[in-house]
Amino acid sequence: FFLGLTATEKKLAEYKCNTNEAIQLKLVRFPEDLEDENTTFNPEYSHQVFGDDEVAFGYKGLKILLYYIAGNLSTLFRIEYTSRVNEKFDCVEADDVESKIREIIPPGFCTNTDDFVSLLEKEVNFKPFGMLLHTYSIHNEEAGEDITYQIYKADMTCPGFREYHERLQTFLMWFIETASFIDVDDERWNYFLVFEKYNKDGATLFATVGYMTVYNYYVYPDKTRPRVSQMLILPPFQGEGHGAQLLETVHRYYMSSPTVLDITAEDPSENYVKLRDFVLVKLCQDLVCFSPVKLMQGFSQEMVTEAQQKLKINKQHTRRVYEILRLRATNMGDAEQSRSYRLDVKRRLIGPYKKKQRELAKMRRCLRPEEMTNQLNQIDLNLQREQLEESFQQLVSDYRRVLERLAQA
């Protein structure tokens, strides 16, 4: 009996597919892209659709094709496999992969390649939505030329944008770990989109590169605080500097508005924080309050005020900008300068520890002694020193990376 079971189990194990590998994404510009392996990319995550183990059961050689036309993102969705378990013989049912994908992609997609290719011919009519905010170009080694990109601000009143956004946001599921779709009927959302201009048969076409959603929170009595919610540069375009262009453009857009208090971000990822450090330091480095002389005098209210009024940067982020720019102005080989910098940053880092100690002091007053020792053991002073030093070293290496990127910009 047990032998039989393992044989069956072995057989069934062959019908498990890793969904991150099975899902094949493409942004298609030319019919030949369909056959070109180099244009295919895979998700980083599929757990929101296929569960934590990111497995689809019941197929061998499973391919889940999700191809998008580069500009307006019209979609081709097909499932291919070499074989599938059969209820009659194998007494098990294959996962319903199709309905899982249908839950996140909007209706109206193609299921066969011919329909998709004929839609591709209409792509020449696709134009970006909304208002043009910024144009920039990046030199492309492979193409041996400069490629032009544009950033637009759109909203749900733009004809066709609602449907386009429904297709665009499906990418979040594959590339942002905790992604969720937003309520587009709430008018306080702003959408910022990046497009690449490219040529096809003598015409200029636009390809989707990435986007950002920002929610405008109301701040009493008459201000708003825009909060970055989602930001995604599509994988074929990552690492080219589009994220920095997008974030800087969004900051500049809100900077011109007298009713905006400052810009924040919702639950930012590590990568987003690195990007933001770079963009904010780039924006702040020329402010009078960040001159080397003033940096050496320490963090000041003047920095907070100027960064908020001119650049819509909040206090917490201004403090990081100060630490990064002060590192640049500090000769770390000089014992005195380096010690002064270290103390300055550690004084900020120790804040949370101090808070914990105040909480412990409160507990001391109301806990029995034996309960207290447990709590105290958690905060060993040596450990605290070590953690503090570790945090400091980590920060300095992050800050150096920002400064390196700035030096190249």
Asked if residue 207 lies in contact with residue 69, where contact means CB atoms within 8 angstroms, the answer is no
Q: Is 14 a catalytic residue?
A: no
What Cα–Cα distance (Å) separates residue 59 from each residue in 4, 22, 82, 102, 248? 21, 10, 8, 18, 46
φ, ψ for residue 52, nearest 5 deg: -60, -30
Phi-psi region of 109 (alpha: psi -120 to 50; beta: other; left: phi over 0): beta
Coil vs helix vs strand at 135: strand
**Cα–Cα distance between 262 and 269 in angstroms, integer?**
19
Asked if residue 192 lies in contact with residue 246, where contact means CB atoms within 8 angstroms, the answer is yes
Residue for token digits 């050496």? Answer: 296
Asked if residue 12 lies in contact with residue 92, where contact means CB atoms within 8 angstroms, the answer is yes
Strand ordering across the sheet containing 63-69 = 40-41, 23-28, 63-69, 75-80
CA 288 to chain centre: 32
φ, ψ for residue 225, nearest 5 deg: -125, 95
φ, ψ for residue 107, nearest 5 deg: -65, 165
DSSP state letter for 290: G
- Identity (one letter) of the amino acid at 200? K
Residue for token digits 């080989």? Answer: 333
Check 266, 371, 386, 390 and give the catalytic one. Answer: 266
Asked if residue 130 lies in contact with residue 124, where contact means CB atoms within 8 angstroms, the answer is no
List all residues 6 or more positions away from 138 whose beta carbon is below 8 Å from its beta carbon.
Answer: 146, 147, 149, 240, 241
**Cα–Cα distance between 330 and 296 in angstroms, integer?**
8
Burial 238-255 (b: 16+ CB within 10 A, else e): bebbbbbbbbbbbbebbe
* Number of C-beta neighbours around residue 326 at 10 A: 23
Active site residues: 266
